[in-house]
Structures are given as C-alpha cells and as structure tokens.
Structure 1
C-alpha cells in the first residue's frame, strides 16, 4: 500500500552509548535466553532492557514537574498527532545560545504564525554531536530556550515543544521552560533527531510514547509526515 506521505524518523536509536542527563550508561540491553539455549523446537532469543524512562528521544509529561499534571497515559492521541513547525536556529546556535523571542517572530514573519495545536521543534543542530556522547552532553551546556519563548508558545496554545538537545533548559536556569510548558498541561520531547529533514511548515508529527500508566517520562518513536505532493513541489 502506498500512502501519500513520506515518513521521517525523528528518533535516535537506543544503545549502550546513548547520551544521558546524569552521564551514566543509561540503556542496558541484555539477552536472557539465546537461540542455542532454547529447548523448544522453535528457537527464540528473549531479551530484557533496563533504562531510565527519560532517555533517548523521549516525552516529558506534565506530571514530570507538576504533581497535579497529566501522566503519559492521560495524554490523548489527538494531542500526539499535530501539525509541525520547525524553527531552525542551527546557523547561530552555540552551547550557551538561548532561542529568543526574536527567533520566533522572525520565523512567523517569514513563514506563518504558530497556530493553536501546533507541535513546535526548535532545531539547534546540536544533534550532530549525538554519536560523541561527551560532546553532546557537554557538562549540560547546550542550546536551549528562553523563558519568554516558552511563555509566547503557551500563548499560541501549542500542543507540545521539541528540541534536539538533552532539554529546553540547562540546570542553572532553574528549568523555567519545563515549568511553563508542563505547568500548562503541554508536553516536551527531548533529543529529537533529523529535524533538518522536515520543512519549516507543512509537515505533521506523531509522538508515540510507551504507554506507561502513571509515567512522567517515556521513550517515544517520533515520526514526521511530509505530503508527497508537497515534496514534489519543493523538489520542482
């Protein structure tokens, strides 16, 4: 079956070297039973995983920093499928860069206003360091988002906010973006991959977290959808 969309995987694969907030080897993948040890006629390999919930490309639910907020299982599927806008600041972002109000206003002037229900990705270009975990973590110094931008996006009534770094805040900031976005019942997606493969406007996104009851964080498969007709127009 052919679908009228090109699918873009915006997810980093989980491995033993996946960068983590606390600089630990956060993802462990083990074989519990291998083919050679399986006594049934059909041979199976059975595996187990051990990891923190907030690793790799993952969702922060409102309950991550709001005791009264929604948990992963309470976020509706409708909120997980949304129009997507990508704000590209990669040419100027550096390890202490804050995405500013002017960045957002410049985007809106060039493309279109951010609409209610949009999922907004801040493309900093930092994911280029993903395969060198120490550089990606960088002692928790990476491009992030200003408090004013978070307030603006809440005013636009976005569905959620994604970024291609460990998070939209660094520790010394006091986590205002987490507080503002999650405190208003929206969600965050951190460690976005391949944001450069999406157009600034005109795509859609599916955020598919592990369906964890009571979860405050969960790994996601993040998928972008680009209309094939649009892709043909852009190529032409």
Structure 2
C-alpha cells in the first residue's frame, strides 16, 4: 500500500483524525489594532449582492471585504522589510505548507505572565524530550490564548502600556530562523510577535528574522490542545493572492490515533 493509500485508508476508518485549527472568520473575529499614527487594515465583512431575488433569482452570493492579516492567516516574506525580495503568498512553495508539527506547551508560564517569551533554552528542553525539530516542519506555540479567540478585548489584552500577549524572544526568533530547517511557526495570538514585540531588538523580531529567512508565520490558531507534542501533520491552505503579503487560511492537522 502506498503512503497516499495508507493516508486515505486512515481517513476512511477514522484512525487518522482531522483537527481544524482555524478561527472562524466573521465580522467579530478579533483583529490587531495598531496605535496611531499607523493605519489599520479593514475588518472582515460580507456585502450581499443577491439572495434568491431579482439581482440573482436562483442564487445567493456576496462580495467579501477584508484585510490580508485578519483571523487565522499566514504571513509571507514580503510582509516585512527583511523579506521584501522574498515570496508573496501566491509563490510560497506548496511543499512548504505541509509538514510535521512540533507543539511546545507553555500554558503554565503564560498563566503566570501574559508577556511570556519563549527562549532558546525552552526549545532545547523540548528537544531533549521529543527529539530535534522536524525538517520542513512547524513549531506551534501552545499558550492557551485561543480561549480568548471570540473576545476582541481579551484577545489583544491592551492597557495603557500596550498589548500583553505571549510570544517568542528575539534570540529564539533568530535561532529558529537561522539554525533550524523549519518552514515556520504558528501561534494562538493575533500576531506572530508578542504583544510587546515592538520593544525588543530588533522590533518585532519574529517578523524580522523568520520572514527575512524564507520562513513563515501562522496566527490565531485554535485547538492545539488536541495535538500531541509530535506526530501530527500540519496542512496550511492560504489563498494564492498574487502580490499578497498574507492570506486568511484554513489550517488543519492530521493526527494518527493510537490503535
């Protein structure tokens, strides 16, 4: 039996489980809000064109309006100045969008400190228990932040000092970008950098280092609690927007359940 036939058989008998990691996209999906003087993207909305009526008697359809970086989405290298000569979202090679997932669970640290930053030592500690990070794989940061995914205020967690959401340190971002063969990283928060990422050196280091090294970032993931630390396969399906810096994406994981 070929690998493809084995996969199809597993899906058919449900020994391979599909986990949807995508936050549903609507006008209420939490989004990033940049402070003045920066300009924000528009939120997602639907504009009804017809609904089984005179403009379209047999069909219902809409125009969609959205920023690229809304909801669960993937950042392409051209999103950041360090990756400006790199791929747009339409030219990310498909084989980079499917690969093994490595899940690092830092919920306890984030519960104690919403500004928690993953360090290189944390990754090495994970590798000592689970093996090396996978080639062409995805490092997914399980923080428990998806529990706020339907609450704009809690999701961005902003006070007078700025946004307070967990992420990855500048040193760890540089290490992931330059020392691993990962395709990228995924987070449960609104952006791939921590809420206070502007205060790090360089500012927004995950964007700077990963996108500048042809690695990608996925935001607003859900249901990472349904994945094992190793063994799941991630599938990222963005729209191939020509010139796009990002795209809302459907993200799945395939998990082999124990017999």
Which runs of 5 or more structure 2 residues have no equivalent in the other structure? Answer: 1-7, 35-39
After TM superposition, give the deviation of residue 29 of structure 1 in Å. Answer: 1.4
Report Cα offsets for 1:142-182 as digits up to 9, x if no partner: 00101121122220121111111112323333111111100
**2:195 is the alignment partner of 1:172:** no
Give me the whole-angstrom Cα distance separating, in 2, the residues matched to 1:5 and 1:149: 33
Q: In the alignment, which of 215, 238, 256 is matched to residue 186 of structure 1?
A: 215
**2:149 is the alignment partner of 1:113:** no
Distance 1:88 1:39, change over 3 A: closer
Greater alpha carbon shift after TM alignment, 147-156 vs 46-55: 147-156
Q: In the alignment, which of 161, 165, 173 is matched to residue 142 of structure 1?
A: 165
Is the 8 Å Cα contact of residues 49 and 55 (structure 2) preserved in structure 1? no
SS of residue matched to 2:157: helix
SS of residue matched to 1:221: strand
After TM superposition, give the deviation of residue 204 of structure 1 in Å. Answer: 0.5
TM-score, length-normalised on structure 2? 0.83
Is the 8 Å Cα contact of residues 21 and 223 (structure 2) preserved in structure 1? yes
Is the 8 Å Cα contact of residues 38 and 44 (structure 1) preserved in structure 2? no
Is the 8 Å Cα contact of residues 9 and 222 (structure 1) preserved in structure 2? yes
Is the 8 Å Cα contact of residues 98 and 144 (structure 1) preserved in structure 2? yes
Distance 1:39 1:190, change over 3 A: closer
Is the 8 Å Cα contact of residues 19 and 133 (structure 1) preserved in structure 2? yes
**2:181 is the alignment partner of 1:157:** yes
2:79 match: 64
Report Cα offsets for 1:193-220 as digits up to 9, x if no partner: 1111111001110111011011111111
Distance 1:37 1:85, change over 3 A: same
**2:96 is the alignment partner of 1:79:** yes
SS of residue matched to 1:179: helix
Which runs of 5 or more structure 1 residues have no equivalent in the other structure? Answer: none
User: Root-mean-square deviation (CA), in Å?
Assistant: 1.7
Q: In the alignment, which of 97, 109, 119 is matched to residue 92 of structure 1?
A: 109
Give me the whole-angstrom Cα distance separating, in 2, the residues matched to 1:49 and 1:172: 35
Runs of 4+ with deviation above 3 angstroms:
36-40
Is the 8 Å Cα contact of residues 146 and 222 (structure 2) preserved in structure 1? yes
SS of residue matched to 2:147: helix
**2:45 is the alignment partner of 1:28:** yes
SS of residue matched to 2:131: coil
After TM superposition, give the deviation of residue 138 of structure 1 in Å. Answer: 1.2
